[in-house]
Amino acid sequence: MPPKAWKTLTTREVYRNKWISVREDIAELPDGRTTIYGVVTMGRAAGVLPFLPDGRVVMVRQYRYVTGENHRWEMPTGGIHPDETPEQAAQRELIEEVGYRAGRLIPISTFHTSKSVCDETAYLFLGYDLEPASAASDDTEEFEVAALPFDEVLALVLRSEIRDAMTVIAVLHAARLRDRGEL
C-alpha cells in the first residue's frame, strides 16, 4: 500500500525572483504530527543533446556560480517560459547557446530534478538535422561551444567529469539507444 499523503496546513512565500520562488509550508503528517517543509519552485526546464551528421555532439561550457566551475561540458539547457512547450524551449536554448536549430527533436526523458525539496520538471530531447540559427543569449550567459565525439562525452559522464544531471541523463539515454541500434 502506498504511503499516505501529507496535508498542507499553511504556506508562506519566503522569497521570489524571476527564476525561483521559495516557500515554507506547515504540513500535517498522516499520524497527526506537523512539520516545517521548505520548497524551492523552479518550474520546468528543457535540454537537448544536439548531434551533428558525423555523430559528434555540440556541447557548451559556461561559468556556474553555485559550483564556482567553468570547465565542465554540458548540453544546451534552460527554463521553459510560461508560453512555451518543452519542444519550443529546447529549440530556443539550442539556438541561443550553440547557434543551431534542430530539424528533428526526439523526446527521451521527463524527470523531476530533485524530488524532495525542489519543484522542477525537466524535459530532455535528442536533436538531429541541425541547421545554423542565431538569437541573442541571456544577458548573464557567456558560452564556449565545441563539437565533441559522442564516445568522449560518454566517457566524461562515466568519469563524473560531466555532472549536470540533465546532460548525464540525456547522454546515458543516447548511449542506451545507440547500443540497441536505435540511434
Measured CA to CA, the distance from residue 132 to residue 135 in angstroms comes to 11
CATH number at residue 91: 3.90.79.10
Q: Are 61 and 144 in contact (CB under 8 A)?
A: yes
Banded model confidence at residue 139, pLDDT cuts 50, 70, 90: low
- Model confidence, pTM: 0.90
Average pLDDT, the chain: 92
Q: Is residue 88 part of a domain?
A: yes
Question: What is the widest separation between alpha-carbon atoms in the chain?
Answer: 60
Position 67 in a domain: yes
Asked if residue 15 belongs to a domain, the reply is no
pLDDT of 141 reads 67
- Which long-range CB contacts under 8 A does 138-141 form with residues at least 24 apart? 138/78, 138/96, 141/62, 141/96, 141/97
Let me know if residue 24 belongs to a domain: no
The range of the structural domain enclosing residue 80 comes to: 44-109+121-179
Is position 64 within any domain?
A: yes
Instruction: Tell me what pLDDT residue 131 has.
Output: 95
Instruction: Give dist(CA 118, CA 175) in Å, integer.
Output: 28
The count of domains in the chain is: 1
Measured distance CA(48)–CA(107) in Å, rounded: 9
Closest CA to 122 of 97, 86, 154: 86
Q: Residue 163 domain-assigned?
A: yes
Residue 65 lies in a domain: yes
More confidently predicted of 92 and 181 = 92
Residue 104 domain flag: yes
Better pLDDT: 142 or 21: 21
Measure the N-to-C terminal CA separation of the chain; round to a whole number of Å: 39
pLDDT confidence band for 159 (50 / 70 / 90)? very high
Task: Give yes or no for residue 137 having a pLDDT over 80.
Answer: no
Cβ atoms of 77 and 115 within 8 Å: the answer is no
Q: What is the pLDDT of residue 59?
A: 97
pLDDT tens sequence across 83-134: 999 999 999 999 999 999 999 999 999 999 888 889 999 999 999 999 999 8
pLDDT digits (tens, 9 = 90+) for 33-60: 999 999 999 989 999 999 999 999 999 9
